Amino acid sequence: MKTTSVKEENSVEPPKRFRQAWLKDWLKQTGFLLSIPVMILFFAGFVGPLLLVGIYSFMPSKEFGLDHLPTLENYADIFSSSYYLSFGWSLMLALVTTVLLILISWPVAYGLAKSFKRSMILTLILVLPLFVSENVRLFGWVLTLVNHGVLDGSLNAMFGVDLPSLLYNAPVILLGLLYTYLPFMLFPMVLGISMVPEPCREASFDMGANRWQVFKEIELPLAMPGILIGSLLTFVLVMGSISEAKILGGQSIIMISHDIETAFTYAQNWPLGSALATLLILLIGALVLTLLSKLDLDRLFGRKK
């Protein structure tokens, strides 16, 4: 028996034995052993719910158990109804918000990174609103913009001007999105602009480059990692936002997150809500991966000259 075992061990190919030994050594590493609780928490708190949502999306409509045969009924209902409008509004608002925040945040981030040297007072002014609930801040805008509110009442008292209703339309929803998600674009952009070496800018000016050329050829490419991170954060968060459209828009525009909430709560149709959530995750994942595949990340993050 011992002779046979030795023969079997010797019959294993050298590369395979090398891989097995490497895997055993890797599994015994202290870092891997210490990371096991975190990995268990990650799978239980993040991967597990996502898998559950994916499985539920194939269950029959308005069923609360997982003991049914898989069906594509929910996806057929989605593609045959008007849910594409919710997806379209969410996608358009996410793209417009991301582009506008890039344009708005650049001069502010440039001032924070270069002129004010990350002034603590300015940073606190920008960060403090994050310590207040998002819904409370949005209701502050409602009190400001509603008829006979702060803005309308002040203009009427001072100038006798009556404003039309400023709430419950697409522009005010966009205003709420810009206001809410500005920090998520601004601070990554500040870090990106901080990565632009000052000697590099000065050398460009010394060689005769004008302000536009320095911006286009030096500052924008070197600050691109911060812009890219801020854009991805903003886009993903806006795609999943719901409060701005409900509070400021009064449901004049239905975003896809509102449809998902309705399916899970009022309609009590978990499989339909799971199917909508799965499609939203796939849509965001496809757009983000497509964007990342078009960019040279090694060059953007300075790993390749």
Residue 59 is given by DSSP the state: S
Task: Give the SS3 label for residue 95.
Answer: helix
Question: Looking at the whole model, is its pTM more than 0.85?
Answer: no
Tell me the C-alpha to C-alpha distance, in Å, between residue 38 and each of 4, 46, 53.
Answer: 43, 11, 22
Residues 147-181 pLDDT 10s: 888 888 888 888 877 777 788 889 999 999 999 99
**Is 167:146 a contact under the CB 8 Å cutoff?**
yes
pLDDT tens digits, one per residue of 49-99: 889 999 999 998 888 888 888 889 999 999 998 899 999 999 999 999 999
- Who's near 193: CB < 8 A, 6+ residues apart? 109, 110, 113, 114, 219, 223, 226
Please state, in angstroms and rounded to a whole number, the distance separating the CA atoms of residues 175 and 245. 11
User: Looking at 17-26, 53-62, 220-229, 248-257, which range is the least confident one?
Assistant: 17-26
Residue partners of 126: CB distance under 8 A and separation at least 6: 182, 183, 186
Torsion sign (Cα): 108, 114, 115, 121: positive
